Homo-oligomer: A and B are copies of this chain.
């Protein structure tokens, strides 16, 4: 059985967790909200809703879109978006790194058959 770790921040009732972090990564990689959503098996509307939810939380938008011209439909992750993603990724790395002993200790208490079947 695979042991995975989810880290989710809540700003009031609004979560920022693995899904939004991956969406930011995909937007940065694909240059488009639609393509990012597709890569994650998510509808365009859903991807847009998540982007708008993130943008509404922060002083500067995390994702900006370009309208018109050759780059119509393009989107990019702003400096603020890159910063939020970097800090979130660092928190995950902290838990996976320095928390490894605790994670292994918990995994070591799982049922042996459960732990050995991914």
Residues of A at the B interface (CB closer than 8 Å) are: 1-12, 15-17, 56-60, 80, 83-84, 87-88, 90-91, 94-95, 98-99, 102-103, 105-107, 109-112, 114
Contacts and interface: CB of A to CB of B under 8 A. Distances in A.
A111 B57 contact: yes
A88 B106 contact: yes
18 contacts: A2-B10, A2-B11, A5-B7, A5-B9, A6-B8, A9-B103, A57-B111, A58-B110, A58-B111, A59-B109, A59-B112, A83-B105, A84-B109, A88-B106, A90-B99, A94-B98, A95-B99, A98-B98
Nearest to A4: B10
Contact of A83 (B80, B90, B109): B109
Nearest to A5: B9
A117 B80 CA distance: 21
Contact of A58 (B7, B8, B95, B109): B109
